[in-house]
Amino acid sequence: MAKMNIEEIKDKIELRYPYLLVDRVTEREGDKLVALKNVTINEPFFQGHFPEPGPSVMPGTMIVEGMAQVSGLLAREVLGGEGIGYLVGVDGAKFRGKVTPGDQLVLKAEMKRARSKMCKVGVKGYVDEDLVAEAEITLAFDD
C-alpha cells in the first residue's frame, strides 16, 4: 500500500465520522507511513474548545487520537491481522505548536517495536514544515 483514500481507510479501521481523523495516506514504505488530516472549522470539537470569540485550536487529545489512528493503520500493514486495535499507551507526548482550521496536519509514523499483538509507534505531526506534536503510541490488538 503506497496510498490509501478515505474509503480504503474506513475498510482498515473501525472508526467513522465524527471520530475518524485520517483523510488520506500519502505514502507507506516498510515500517513508515505518512497520512493527512485536513482540519476544517466544521470539526465538531471546535464548537466547545475555546468557543467564540476565542481562538479555534485543535485539542491535543484529538491530535493524539489522530496519531493513534495512523499508528493503527501502520500496525495493520506491518503486523497483518484483522483484530481491533486499542490504544494502551501514550509516551512522551509534546505539543509544540497550534493546529487551526485550514491547516493540513501531516502525521508521520514509524514502527519502533512490533510483536504479534502489540506495537509501539513513533508519530510526529507537522503543519507545513513545522513540528507541532509528537508521541510514542502503544497499541494492542485482539483477534
Residues with catalytic roles: 49
Cα(73)–Cα(5) distance, rounded to whole angstroms?
Answer: 12
Distance CA 5, CA 17 (A): 15
C-alpha cell at position 31: 515500517
The CA–CA distances, whole Å, from 96 to 56, 63, 81, 100, 124 equal 16, 12, 34, 13, 11
Burial of 37 (0-12, 13-18, 19+ CB in 10 A): buried
